[in-house]
Amino acid sequence: MAGLILTLDASTPRCVIAVGRVDVDAGTAELLGGEAVSDRPNQASVRLVPRIEALLQRVGVAPGELTHIGCGRGPGTFTGTRVAVATAMGLAVGAKCPAIAVSSLAAVAASVDGSSEEQPVLPLLDARREEVYGARFVVALGAGLPRVQRSSDERCTGLPTLLSELEVAEDSPLIPIGPGVAPYRALLPKALADRAIEALGPTPEGLWAATVSALAAGDVDAAAALRAVYLRKSYAEMGINPPRKPVKRSPFL
């Protein structure tokens, strides 16, 4: 529960990586460096490995020093999530260290402005086809270890349905944030729409906070156990834009 962590996420249009040092027992976590790059749609993961190599070199951490590999396991873009999970698995196997599964929604939720107070957050990712990925979180990013706690199931559905299922009132203190805000802001209650934060994805600080929180919660397993979470079938599986060639699935996913 202590050491050097590399964590990455490519489930949104923003490819994010971060490296830091953490000691759960001592209650300390230090972000050494991070990077967030917004690429063309569905291209966030194209240069993932070179960016990881450059960041590790910049902060002076050798791959062999890493004790954990964190990874945004989705939900989010299918290609980006698959690439990130496969990359994280390969890095963890190579470094002979365990993996930390991190909800990409948690990483977005933790990208709100830091506060020692608990903040109710509603991360929203654009799932296309008039749907969003979303869930309710409680985030505390002040003194001590960050805490990013999910308080509802992660869902893929229309935003009005999600708000209804979460019983979100007009005067709810929830803070909507993420790439699902811009296309669906008009569907939010006015109070939520006024405070909603548009973002292409998590920040390095948000991904780091969510990773530390997941580590503290014990969401650590062998690299081979890391799995992507999609919440719904791909377009090809739904018969939309079927692939021209048979789909070959990686044995690691």
Same domain as 121, residue 74 = no
Distance CA 73, CA 156 (A): 15
In the chain, the number of structural domains is: 2
Same domain as 141, residue 50 = no
The residue with tokens 């490296």 is 19
Residue 138 lies in a domain: yes
Residue 230 lies in a domain: no
Residue 188 lies in a domain: yes
pLDDT tens, residue by residue, 198-217: 999 999 999 999 999 999 99
Which pLDDT band holds residue 242 (cuts at 50, 70, 90)? low
Give the range of the structural domain holding residue 80, as residue numbers without chain letter. Answer: 2-105+202-225
Same domain as 152, residue 32 = no
Q: Which residue has the higher pLDDT, 248 or 151?
A: 151
What's the confidence (pLDDT) of residue 144? Answer: 85
Same domain as 11, residue 89 = yes
Same domain as 93, residue 13 = yes
Residue 247 lies in a domain: no
Same domain as 128, residue 39 = no
Residue 243 lies in a domain: no
Distance CA 229, CA 204 (A): 21
The residue ranges of DSSP E strands in 118-195, in sequence order, are: 119-128, 131-134, 137-140, 147-150, 155-157, 175-178
Same domain as 17, residue 92 = yes
Residue 49 lies in a domain: yes
Same domain as 24, residue 101 = yes
CATH number at residue 158: 3.30.420.40
Same domain as 192, residue 215 = no
Same domain as 221, residue 147 = no
Residue 240 lies in a domain: no
Which pLDDT band holds residue 157 (cuts at 50, 70, 90)? very high
Same domain as 163, residue 147 = yes
Of 25, 10, 15, nearest in space to 145 by CA: 25
Which pLDDT band holds residue 232 (cuts at 50, 70, 90)? confident
pLDDT tens, residue by residue, 37-90: 986 655 555 688 999 999 999 999 999 999 999 999 999 999 899 999 999 999
Same domain as 86, residue 10 = yes
pLDDT tens, residue by residue, 91-144: 999 999 999 999 999 999 999 987 668 999 999 999 999 999 999 999 999 878
